[in-house]
Amino acid sequence: MTQAKPRSPKTSRKGKATGKSTGENRAVGFPEGLTEQDLLNSYRQMVLVRKTDERVWMMNRQGKVPIAASCQGHEAAQLGSLLAAQQDGDCFLFPYYRDLAIKMMVGLSPTQVMLSFMGKVGEPYSGARQFPLQGADLEHRVIQISNVVGAGLTQAVGYALGCRMLGDDTVVLAYLGDGATSQGETHEAMNFAGVHRLPVVFVCENNRYAISVPQSLQMAITDVASRAEGYGFPGVVVDGMDLVQSYQATREGIKHARSQGPVFLEMKVERLMPHTTDDDDRRYRGDDEVEQARLRDPLVTFPAYLKEQGILTDQEAEEINAEAQRAVNEATDVAEAASPPDASDMLSHVYAP
Amino acid sequence: MPLKSVIEAVREAMLEEMRRDEKVFVMGEDVGLRGGVFLATQGFLEEFGQARALDTPLAEASIMGIALGAAFRGLRPIPEVEFADFVWPSVNQLIGEAARVCYGTNGALSVPMVVRIPYGGGIRGGLFHSQNVEAYFCHTPGLKVIAPATPYDAKGLLKSAIRDDNPVVFLEHKKTYRLVRGEVPEEEYLLPIGKADVKRAGDNVTVVSYGLMLHYCLEAAEVVAAEGIDVEVVDLRTLKPLDKETVVESVKKTAKLLIVHEDNLTGGVGAEVAALVADEAFEYLDGPITRLCGPDVPTMPFAQPLEDAYMPNTEKVAEALRKLAAY
């Protein structure tokens, strides 16, 4: 497993969240802050998200879901960071379009998610005006307005500024892909957050592809986390295929953000599917590359780790998978039978009253 | 009533609203220590502190994005774009994001934000300190666009804009800042967004305008009055939403319409007003709907004769009124 590397002398996390290998953690028992129940629950979530992701992709091929951006390969990074945010209890999330696991597991039901992908009444983010799960889920403290990469980051930083002005203790988690790191507004967001030491954790899910453009054509550096130093805050490289490491790095990141200001976490992940259902990645990725990536699929490695730790048995894993499949099947049936919005709805909410 | 300048009215409006509601704050380049390049926020840093008179890096996209994010948290930001010519880096946040927030969240979120933008030419500003930008924003559902001409309107409309829960683009013509003075009541007042104002009543020709040009129209109306042409001058004040009723009622009375704006002719506010009148008052018209606007060149040039050639003025408006009245 890749060790997380603290990138700035300012960070004091060495030897805590990121300096220890998971091997050492296994040897001494449990990673700090986590219980068996947490890990089992994360596995349940991971399976449910994967079944949902596979289902919507299939339904796209059936003509029932117009578009989907798969999070396959990003689940460990997303669910690990979400677990840290949920444990903290006072985080506000600005995810990006590939964050299905985050948006679902903040508290949406599989049915709500399926309604969203099918554009039906009950869609929780935008009333089915936007792409699936895009808009705002304020009940669960989540905002993602648009598909312009980087645009959500200055908004996230502004949200953190607003929280500080009102005396909140909230930490904002702002998610981005590696593609967004090229955008000018990403620089502006990180610069402003650094100047004002705002409580923001930037979580970059680096899958090395901006749609088809590889990392080598996006940046001249190996680790985008190294840019953080230029903004005056720490950048940390994390193995985003490892849920425990993703959790620990985010947990430390949240603490740091609240007490000292921004942190940049670069979670190295694999994109196991094309960019979206409209993409064909065979035009720019070799079969071998994706096959190799699948060996590190968190849906393979995480249950193996849990079994090795004696937390999960084969039978429990089967039950968890069967339960998730049932939930997704039921949600699909409900969503298929649900009504689409009435056409008259098209004119509402152009302006706030 | 005391006489005040437009810039004084703008400053007073923000001052009163910031004293009334602590969620209101100003942000932008030079708004704190410098008090604004036009001194619109002079003294704010001393009264409200750094957090509410927030000097930002010189980066317009983030000024707008950060304002938007603060609005999501429930604050009421007033981001200032130093000159309209510099609004372009922030246009994604304004047109792409802010305008779509309410619609794109099914009404769950709104954006109580006023973007103050000093704009306009006639001040030897050249291509990058003179631009008129209103048409771009008027095309965008979800935004409101206000362009006052007088101190009284500027204050009353800015206060209403700050209390509005939608993103408002508030355009202040730079040449009016100190040139135009007018009566402003001491007591508090608000003016409704979306209501035009008949600044001069008349029977023969309607002229519709806003901003600096409104004053040239009023002067031209006096010039041609001596020649027996009685002009009604309608000040739009709000460009979006348009006050259709006031415009249509005036044209029904005068049967002739001249539209004057400094912005480029093609696709400008005047085109929308012309289409409105063609739709709703066609049978009342007794002459061609006429537009006197900036020509279709990329903003007024720097050299004096070139700038003068671009700018509509009192003489040009008077001439257009004579031609139209002759029908």
Q: What is the Rg, in whole angstroms, of the alpha carbon atoms belonging to chain A?
A: 20
The verdict on ipTM greater than 0.90 is yes
Task: Answer whether A185 touches B (CB < 8 Å).
Answer: yes
B104:A146 CB<8 A: yes
Nearest C-alpha neighbor of B16 from the set B133, B177, B156, B149: B156
Question: Are residues A277 and A59 in contact, defined by beta-carbon separation less than 8 angstroms?
Answer: no
Question: Are residues A127 and A136 in contact, defined by beta-carbon separation less than 8 angstroms?
Answer: no
Task: Answer whether A148 touches B (CB < 8 Å).
Answer: yes
Question: Are residues A266 and A252 in contact, defined by beta-carbon separation less than 8 angstroms?
Answer: no
- Establish if A279 belongs to a structural domain: yes
Residue B75: pLDDT over 90? yes
A192:B75 CB<8 A: no
A188:B101 CB<8 A: no
* Burial state string for A271-282 with b = 16 or more CB within 10 A and e = fewer than 16: bbbbbbbebebe
The label of the residue with tokens 């099918």 reads: A118
- Establish if A295 belongs to a structural domain: yes
Distance CA B261, CA B247 (A): 15
For B197-223, the pLDDT digits (tens) are: 999 999 999 999 999 999 999 999 999
Based on the structure, what is the number of domains in chain A?
A: 1
Structural tokens at position A94: 């600005």
Distance CA B49, CA B54 (A): 8
For B133-192, the pLDDT digits (tens) are: 999 999 999 999 999 999 999 999 999 999 999 999 999 999 999 999 999 999 999 999
A161:B69 CB<8 A: yes
For B80-127, the pLDDT digits (tens) are: 999 999 999 999 999 999 999 999 999 999 999 999 999 999 999 999
- Establish if A234 belongs to a structural domain: yes
Structural tokens at position B26: 């100003």
Q: What is the pLDDT at residue A287? A: 84
- Establish if A6 belongs to a structural domain: no
Q: What is the pLDDT at residue A7? A: 39
Beta carbons within 10 angstroms of residue B288's beta carbon: 13
In this structure, which amino acid lies at residue A159? Y
In the 8-state DSSP scheme, what is residue A139?
G
Per CB-CB distance under 8 Å, the chain B contacts of A348 are: 107
Beta carbons within 10 angstroms of residue B43's beta carbon: 12
Q: Among all residues of chain A, which has the CA nearest to that of B168?
A: A351
Give which of A97, A154, A168 to mutate to test B binding, by max B Cβ within 10 Å.
A154
Looking at residue A106, which CATH number applies to its domain?
3.40.50.970
Question: Are residues A227 and A235 in contact, defined by beta-carbon separation less than 8 angstroms?
Answer: yes
Structural tokens at position A108: 């949406």
A159:B73 CB<8 A: yes
The answer for residues whose C-beta is within 8 angstroms of residue B25's C-beta and 6 or more apart is: A165, B18, B48, B51, B52, B53, B54, B70, B75, B76, B77, B78
B73:A163 CB<8 A: yes
Structural tokens at position A316: 């429990």
Question: Are residues B192 and B161 in contact, defined by beta-carbon separation less than 8 angstroms?
Answer: no
Q: What is the pLDDT at residue A30? A: 76
Per CB-CB distance under 8 Å, the chain B contacts of A232 are: none
Exposed / middle / buried, residue A89 (Cβ in 10 Å: 0-12, 13-18, 19+)? exposed
Distance in Å, alpha carbon of B49 to nearest chain A alpha carbon? 12
- Establish if A277 belongs to a structural domain: yes
Count CA within 13 A, CB hemisphere, residue B21: 17
B65:A153 CB<8 A: yes
Distance in Å, alpha carbon of B15 to nearest chain A alpha carbon? 18
Which chain B residues have any C-beta within 8 angstroms of a chain A C-beta?
Answer: 25, 51-52, 56-57, 59, 61-62, 64-75, 89, 92-93, 96-97, 100-112, 141-142, 144, 165-166
- Establish if A191 belongs to a structural domain: yes
Query: Which domains can be identified in chain B, with CATH numbers?
Result: 3-183 (3.40.50.970), 197-325 (3.40.50.920)
Who among B73, B100, B165 is closest to A166 (CB)?
B73
Q: What is the pLDDT at residue A11? A: 35
Distance CA B174, CA B166 (A): 24
- Average pLDDT of the residues in B287-313: 97
In the 8-state DSSP scheme, what is residue A343?
G
Is B129 among the catalytic positions? yes
Question: Are residues A265 and A255 in contact, defined by beta-carbon separation less than 8 angstroms?
Answer: no
- Establish if A161 belongs to a structural domain: yes
Q: What is the pLDDT at residue A29? A: 62
Measured between alpha carbons, how far is residue A300 from residues A75, A268, A297, B28, B127 in Å? Answer: 12, 17, 5, 50, 60
- Establish if A171 belongs to a structural domain: yes
Q: What is the pLDDT at residue A2? A: 36
In the 8-state DSSP scheme, what is residue A161?
H
Exposed / middle / buried, residue A28 (Cβ in 10 Å: 0-12, 13-18, 19+)? exposed
Task: Answer whether A191 touches B (CB < 8 Å).
Answer: yes
Distance CA B46, CA B53 (A): 9
B57:A350 CB<8 A: no
User: How many CB pairs below 8 A link A and B?
Assistant: 140
In this structure, which amino acid lies at residue A240? G
Q: Where in the sequence is the domain holding A169, given as residue range(s)? A: 35-335
Measured between alpha carbons, how far is residue B137 from residues A99, A106, B147, B277 in Å? Answer: 32, 36, 12, 21
| Spans of chain A below 70 pLDDT | 1-29
Q: Among all residues of chain B, which has the CA nearest to that of A125?
A: B105
